Amino acid sequence: MTNPVSYETEGEIALIRIDNPPVNAASQAVRAGIEAAMTRFAEGPEKIAVLYAAGRTFIAGADITEFGKPPQDPGLPQVCDMLEAQEKPLVCVIHGTALGGGLEVALGCHYRVMLKSARVGLPETLLGILPGAGGTQRLPRLIGLMPAAEIITSARQVPAAEAEALGIVDRLSEDEPRAAGLAYARDLLAQGAGPRRIGEMPNPAVDEAALGDLRKKVARANPGQIAQLTALDAAVRGAPMTLPDGLKEERRLFMTLMDSPQRGALIHAFFGERKVVQLPELKGVKPRALSQIGIIGGGTMGGGIAVACLLSGLSVVLIERDGEAVAKARKGIEKTLEGSVKRGKLKAEKRDAILSDKLLTTDDYASLSDADLIIEAVFESMEVKKEVFAKLDAVAKPGAVLASNTSYLDVDEIAAATSRPGDVLGLHFFSPAHVMRLLEIVDADKTAPEVLATGFALAKALKKVPVRAGVCDGFIGNRILRVFRLAADHMILEGASPFQIDRALEGFGFAMGPYAVADLAGIDIGYMTRQRLRPTKDPQERWGDWADKLYEMGRLGRKTGRGFYIYDEETPKGRPDPEVEEIIAAERAQKGITSRDFTDDEIVERYMAAMINEAARVVGEGIAARPLDVDMVFLFGYGFPRWRGGPMYHADQVGLDRVLATIHQAAKTDAWFWQPAPLLEKLAAEGKGFASLNG
């Protein structure tokens, strides 16, 4: 194996280059190579050394192939300590990104120069751990406790200009890395500069008031998670210590997080996001070209999809029914882009260029003749969608991909409205489409492999997390959603209140409970779904009518000021409405139901058991390819707490036997609803978990 770390000299300067593509991860070979280079530098005649990297980035983090394996020497903390201990000055050049261990390596060096396009950060808390190679100790000593703690707990990436202003780096450069390092090294030699170790800098001051405010902010931003506050503790506890003692405390806290269940869940989420795009049936399949996107419908969804495409550099032709609707759709897109400008996410000149060069809004279907992929985003009606696809069949060029943004409807039936069903697939975006990362890609019966691959290529261009789904009512997410929402409604019929259910599930880690979500989305949405399904409802299925009564009363949620909750100036985020409980109590009495109390734990167990059980059916039927696909759907589309890994991962942690026990207990009062999924029963009987099916 070629050594990924090379050593050369230019006069009195040693040039140490890391070349471990694609992202120069801090693998064991890289760590050993740096250690050997430092030994050679210490023993050699060179007066200063430059550590830099080849390729598109400096060290972008740890080597993910080593995750879960026994650590191999030298460890990264040992390497960083060795860098700092050098008796001759050591310059680090940062380009691309220096994240996690990459930044910790840079902090071990004595001087830092950064290319103006580069970014740095310590994102370890996203994986349920903390920076464990000196990041929580060296960064506070370098730039102060509060700025360092904010960077560590937020896991954000710091651009070059801010990094220089904070003092993370000493200078910026527009040269390529080797030249930038040589120039700085020559300046330092001319100045007679010696080593400048962060460990010898003054201990950072602790502002207790500011620290208390930050602690509250971090807790609010990361409810239920432990890594962020533990990382903050490491920085604070190390502040008055010597660096060696601070590093010991950092390591101790690091190991507590390594043993935490949250770390395993977050690692699962990290790998799942990467693995979900790896489908055996698409191996070697080339997607079709993507340059111009057509969109039918400029409402909330169509406009959001248009913005997502425009911000990704794609051209968009958006069709509405008449001139007035066209103008309204364009105005909505302009407003969304203006919001991006105000938040500093988009430059005004870039916004203007997008609107003038990349967006065409019209009511003329003929304008779609050059579109590579056309997304229908009209009203959720089979008749309307089939009418649109018949029109598209007449105007779309041969080979154009035709996609329906449907949440529930049968994509096979939609495809049958065209003469080219092989070109049709479903693209279920989540609202707001330019923000939400999940994209369910619905693989219809006749969808061609290259068309499915094109859906995944679009997701990549839009920086979304794509999950392949089969055809059924609601696909993966909404099909499962309907079942666990029914489980919640059944608990209300039996005696729980919607407010207790919301509270219990927020305690589990959801940002909002199902009834608060219903108010946010609009109670009319759920009403229309229930009306659509009512004709096919099994007579044995229990069905609560209280939400329909709220709809009939004009109480549609936040947009009308009342739904399950009351929204006003006093409580803009909502407060429980006693009248809702009266409506529910009246329905229980009408149906002869004697209510009982539920504990919060029982609510969570039932809700999760219903979710897991239906998810097992979805996987067993092939609607979802693997359990991890279900996890990614719920992590990125339904607010499932990332630190719990997703419903299938959570089921494995709880134990499938326990999930089955919950189902059997609930079946005593409703055997029709609580039928164990065959896959769940099979895995439990074999003593296996869902992870065994992820491949």
Q: Would the pLDDT of 444 be above 60?
A: yes
Instruction: Looking at the structure, tell me whether residues 520 and 376 fall in a common domain.
Output: no
Instruction: Looking at the structure, tell me whether residues 178 and 191 fall in a common domain.
Output: yes
Q: What is the mean pLDDT of residues 380-404?
A: 95
Say if 117 falls within a structural domain.
yes
Nearest-CA neighbor of 610 among 551, 669, 676, 554? Answer: 676
Instruction: Looking at the structure, tell me whether residues 71 and 209 fall in a common domain.
Output: yes
Q: Would the pLDDT of 117 be above 70?
A: yes
Say if 280 falls within a structural domain.
no
Provide the domain count of the chain.
Answer: 4
Instruction: Looking at the structure, tell me whether residues 355 and 466 fall in a common domain.
Output: yes
Say if 630 falls within a structural domain.
yes
Q: Would the pLDDT of 524 be above 80?
A: yes
Say if 271 falls within a structural domain.
no
Instruction: Looking at the structure, tell me whether residues 390 and 536 fall in a common domain.
Output: no
Backbone angles phi, psi at 50, to 5 degrees: -120, 125
Instruction: Looking at the structure, tell me whether residues 309 and 355 fall in a common domain.
Output: yes
Say if 277 falls within a structural domain.
no
Domain housing 227: 5-195+204-259
| Euclidean distance between CA atoms 603 and 642, whole angstroms | 20
pLDDT per residue as tens digits for the range 336-356: 999 999 999 899 999 999 999
> What is the pLDDT of the chain when averaged over all its residues?
95
Say if 285 falls within a structural domain.
no
pLDDT per residue as tens digits for the range 456-480: 999 999 999 999 999 999 999 999 9
CB-based contact 72:29 (threshold 8 Å): no
pLDDT per residue as tens digits for the range 191-202: 999 999 999 999
Mark which of 595, 630, 665 sits at the end of a domain: 595
| Euclidean distance between CA atoms 231 and 155, whole angstroms | 11
Instruction: Looking at the structure, tell me whether residues 534 and 632 fall in a common domain.
Output: no
Q: Would the pLDDT of 155 be above 80?
A: yes
Mark which of 542, 577, 595 sits at the end of a domain: 595
pLDDT per residue as tens digits for the range 215-228: 999 999 999 999 99
Specify the range with the lowest mean pLDDT, choosing from 158-172, 446-460, 512-526: 512-526
Instruction: Looking at the structure, tell me whether residues 248 and 358 fall in a common domain.
Output: no
Q: Which residues are annotated as catalytic?
A: 407, 428, 440, 478
Instruction: Looking at the structure, tell me whether residues 92 and 128 fall in a common domain.
Output: yes
Say if 265 falls within a structural domain.
no
Q: What SS3 class is residue 632?
A: helix
Residues 6+ apart with CB under 8 A from 505: 513, 514, 603, 604, 607
Instruction: Looking at the structure, tell me whether residues 253 and 187 fall in a common domain.
Output: yes
Q: Which two tokens stand for residue 105?
A: 């390596």
**What pLDDT was estimated at residue 1?**
57
Instruction: Looking at the structure, tell me whether residues 252 and 325 fall in a common domain.
Output: no
Quick one: DSSP state of residue 304?
H
Instruction: Looking at the structure, tell me whether residues 663 and 653 fall in a common domain.
Output: yes
Mark which of 561, 595, 629 sits at the end of a domain: 595
Say if 274 falls within a structural domain.
no
Sheet of 171-173: strand order equals 5-10, 13-18, 48-53, 90-94, 111-115, 171-173
| Euclidean distance between CA atoms 273 and 428, whole angstroms | 18
Nearest-CA neighbor of 677 among 659, 695, 655? Answer: 659
Q: Which two tokens stand for residue 412?
A: 């096979």
User: What is the percent of the chain with per-residue pLDDT over 90, rounded to a whole number?
Assistant: 93
Q: Would the pLDDT of 541 be above 90?
A: no
Confidence at 319, pLDDT banded by 50, 70, 90: very high
Nearest-CA neighbor of 53 among 23, 75, 81, 84? Answer: 23
Q: Would the pLDDT of 68 be above 80?
A: no
CATH assignment at residue 588:
1.10.1040.50
CA-CA-CA-CA torsion sign (29, 33, 39, 40): positive
Residue type for position 382 = M
Per-residue HEC secondary structure of 609-624 comes to HHHHHHHHHHHHCCCE
Taking the whole predicted model, whether its pTM rises above 0.95 is answered as no
Confidence at 528, pLDDT banded by 50, 70, 90: confident
**What pLDDT was estimated at residue 536?**
85
CATH assignment at residue 463:
3.40.50.720
DSSP-assigned states of every residue in 570-612: S-TT-EE-HHHHHHHHHHHHHTTPPP----HHHHHHHHHHHHH
| Euclidean distance between CA atoms 176 and 93, whole angstroms | 10
CATH assignment at residue 156:
3.90.226.10
Nearest-CA neighbor of 314 among 173, 463, 214? Answer: 463
Cα–Cα distances in Å, from 279 out to 112, 284, 466, 615, 646? Answer: 42, 10, 11, 19, 20
Q: Would the pLDDT of 67 be above 80?
A: no
